[in-house]
Amino acid sequence: MVVAFDEMSATSDGCRPGYEILKRWLDATPPELLATRRAEAELLFRRVGITFNVYGDDAGEERLIPFDIIPRILTGTEWTRLSKGLVQRTKALNAFLADIYSKGEILRAGLVPEDLVYRNPYYRPEMAGLKLAHDIYVMIAGIDIVRVDPDTFYVLEDNARTPSGVSYMLENREVMMRLFPDLFAEHRIAPVENYPDALLATLKSVAPRSAPSDPTVALLTPGPFNSAFYEHSFLADKLGVELVEGRDLLVRDNIVHMRTTEGPKRIDVLYRRLDDDFLDPLTFRPDSILGVPGLMNAYRAGNITLSNAVGTGVADDKAVYSYMPEIVRFYLGEEPILKNVPTWRCREPDSLKYVLEHLDEMVVKEVAGSGGYGMLIGPAADKKTRDEFAAKLKANPDDFIAQPTLALSTSPTFVDAGIAPRHVDLRPFVLTGSDKVRIVPGGLTRVALKEGSLVVNSSQGGGTKDTWVLDA
């Protein structure tokens, strides 16, 4: 069994760089005080209403995402390397999307199979040939990162549609500053609270060229029954923009307006947290009551910017993910700074054969899956479950990819039994504007609270941590 790399204690003297002060503090802090602080943190989260709506068997139930009070720490040197890789990756993602909706050069070169793009459920033919104002498709990216040793970070997946979780990053920091001011005073921690300003600047920078010098931005939400509605309302408030639903908007002469008590007001940029299918019933699903009739006509006319652009889900696809090293090389002429996890595409007969023979060693995922659903963790599954999954693979191999079971790094976590290592990942948020790329240092660390679990998703029982990037 592979021993996971522990981000605090994986050295001969029991403490890695950046964690020295925290380790001394943890050694000197009684568990009773940590338990008290955890209860206080939960109370703070309940007061401000940080919840997510549950789907599935417990649909409609609102829950707190568990919060761990022990921060995860990255040194300035580690963050510098990570951020360079994140900038490179998002540039390649934007170049790929701009290409597949125009000339399709990477497809003609045979580096990415045409059917993987054109038959992808998230490919939108309505976007073909549509020239975006600044040629930017993914203004807001959430790149999920995992770590396996002191020097190796892998990209687990690219979230290019509507990445969520930034509200938890911001609230986690605020709660930690309130509960542990003494610990903050002993560290030089890069701030994250400027994220709303960075996001607003990014959104305004991608406004249509016909927009005024100070464009009007609004945030489009599906409404209060959406699992991420708290985040939608939180971000609209932090950005100082209107939170709107489809019924609050109308399109007149291919221009999007917001209904107000003073009459219609033009919207230049719509930060939409609504899936493509529901955006415009005249173009996509005709039964959608969440979208705005005529929105795509305004988009085609160049009178509004949608963030993220329509059709970015192709880059979310886990089979497309497997081609990211080639995508980076093709568009940027550079070697990828951040590694991909080795991936077997089950659509390829040799890969399928290998995966079926090694199912007890693999993590198998649906190419269009998310939230930790629809996946098999082979080493943790019993034979019956693996056999059932093997049948799915044989029936629909195109729908799956497989990866080795990585020994994700662990971070000290306060659980009922005390302080114990738990597996973590990291979702930094990369903002791409027409002027520059902005990345707030850190991101959302998600933690698998169950002992031995590798699933960090909140919908599957995971929690979150504050992420500290230490200033040099």
Give the domain ranges of the chain. 20-126+141-190+317-341+406-469, 344-404
What is the number of residues in the chain?
Answer: 472
Give which of 320, 317, 321, 323 is closest to 369, Cα–Cα. 317
Could you give the dihedral angle defined by the CA atoms of residues 325, 328, 333 and 339, in that order, rounded to the nearest 10 degrees?
-50
| Lowest-confidence segment of 279-283, 294-298, 407-411, 458-462 by average pLDDT | 458-462
R_g over Cα of the chain: 22
User: What is the per-residue pLDDT for 380?
Assistant: 84
The yes-or-no verdict on residue 140 having pLDDT over 80 is yes
Residue whose tokens read 């396996």:
148
Task: Encode pLDDT of 151-188 as tens digits.
Answer: 999 999 999 999 999 999 999 999 999 999 999 999 99
Indicate the pLDDT class of residue 128, thresholds 50, 70 and 90.
Answer: very high
Tell me how many degrees the CA angle 140-142-143 measures, rounded to the nearest 5. 130
Please give the helix or strand (H or E) that residue 71 lies within, else none. Answer: strand 67-74
CA distance 168 to 399: 31
* Cβ atoms of 164 and 427 closer than 8 Å: no
Residue whose tokens read 């995402």:
65
User: What is the per-residue pLDDT for 432?
Assistant: 98
Give which of 230, 215, 239, 229 is closest to 290, Cα–Cα. 229
User: What is the per-residue pLDDT for 46?
Assistant: 85
- 3-state SS class at 310: coil
Task: Encode pLDDT of 66-124 as tens digits.
Answer: 899 999 999 999 999 999 999 999 999 999 999 999 999 999 999 999 999 999 999 99
Could you give the dihedral angle defined by the CA atoms of residues 283, 288, 292 and 297, in that order, rounded to the nearest 10 degrees?
0
- 3-state SS class at 179: helix
Class of the domain covering 344-404: alpha beta
| Lowest-confidence segment of 275-279, 324-328, 353-357, 374-378 by average pLDDT | 374-378
Q: At what angle are helices 166-179 and 195-205 packed, to 10 degrees?
A: 150
67-74 and 463-469 as β-strands: parallel, antiparallel, unpaired? Answer: parallel
Average pLDDT, the chain: 92
User: What is the per-residue pLDDT for 52?
Assistant: 57
| Token couple for 374 | 């629809």
H runs (alpha helix) in 367-461: 383-395
The yes-or-no verdict on residue 143 having pLDDT over 70 is yes
* pLDDT-above-70 percentage for the chain: 95
User: What is the per-residue pLDDT for 322?
Assistant: 94
* Cβ atoms of 251 and 281 closer than 8 Å: no
CA distances from 123 to 335, 362, 365 (A): 27, 28, 20
User: What is the per-residue pLDDT for 176?
Assistant: 95
Task: Encode pLDDT of 239-248 as tens digits.
Answer: 999 999 999 9
CA distance 255 to 83: 37
Residue 34's identity, in one-letter code, is: L
User: What is the per-residue pLDDT for 378?
Assistant: 85
The yes-or-no verdict on residue 53 having pLDDT over 70 is no
CA distance 429 to 165: 9
The yes-or-no verdict on residue 454 having pLDDT over 90 is no
User: What is the per-residue pLDDT for 56?
Assistant: 47
CA distance 232 to 272: 9
| Token couple for 69 | 């009070």
